[in-house]
Amino acid sequence: MDRLAELIAARLPPRREPRTPAPKLDEATLRAALAGILAGRRTGERLHLFSYGALMWERDVVPGAEANPAEAPGFARSFCLRDIHTRGVPEAPGLTLGIRPAPGARCGGLLYALPEEPEAEARALLTAWRQEMSPGFYTPAWLEALPHPQGRVTRAIGFLADPAHPLFVGDMPEGEQAKVLATAVGPQGPDAEYLRRADGMLRDLGLPDPALDQLTRRVSAMLEGMVGATGIEPVTLRV
């Protein structure tokens, strides 16, 4: 176990349940949005999804898909969204990753090629779609991904942060991000664990993210300084 994992286990509770469940998009809305993005699919095109956060390691959410390291040119990843569903709760939100257009930037991640058999494709797509789109703060879009180490540019569906959504927080200062990430806990566990997994996954893929690496160091330092599991009160953000 690495040092950050040890600190998370020692300083933070394993999970936190919300007083009131966070709202999610209903099934009809999800399926309408899915139909909308699929209208842009080209004839005979194999479906691909570009992942840059939890979907990188939660591969069972995309059953039967092939996965390869990739970059999405022209996009940048950041903790620009409040998380009240998984690593935070409405009364004490965490932060989660989103991507936004950024000329000259390159966002590393994992490119999923969905199964070619129609039923398996539909099952994998719908499972991933529900997970990513249910919170409501992503906008699906077609983007171009470049598989690594060498590969052809591939069109893929990506999940972009929606700047018009109430949970969009934008460019929060790094110190504030670190404080939230070091303290927030939700039904799926501590936000610090989400950061640790994302940072470690990208390094394992050979596509390290300097911003996540820096945040990981700051969060580790904050957790080191905690006296005990309640050493720092959860940060409450206005939602």
Tokens standing for residue 44: 């005979």
CB 118: neighbour CB atoms within 10 A?
8
Residue 66 annotated as catalytic: no
**Residue from 113, 109, 89, 105 nearest 97 by CA:** 109
104: exposed, middle or buried (Cβ count in 10 Å: 0-12, 13-18, 19+): exposed
- What is the torsion angle, in degrees rounded to the nearest 10, for the CA atoms of residue 198, residue 200, residue 201 and residue 203? 120
Cβ neighbours for 169, distance < 8 A, ≥ 6 positions apart: 79, 80, 81, 82, 95, 237
Report residue 151: phi and psi, to 5°: -165, 170
Cβ neighbours for 60, distance < 8 A, ≥ 6 positions apart: none
The residue from 132, 144, 193, 224 that is catalytic is 132
Instruction: Give catalytic residues, as residue numbers.
Output: 132
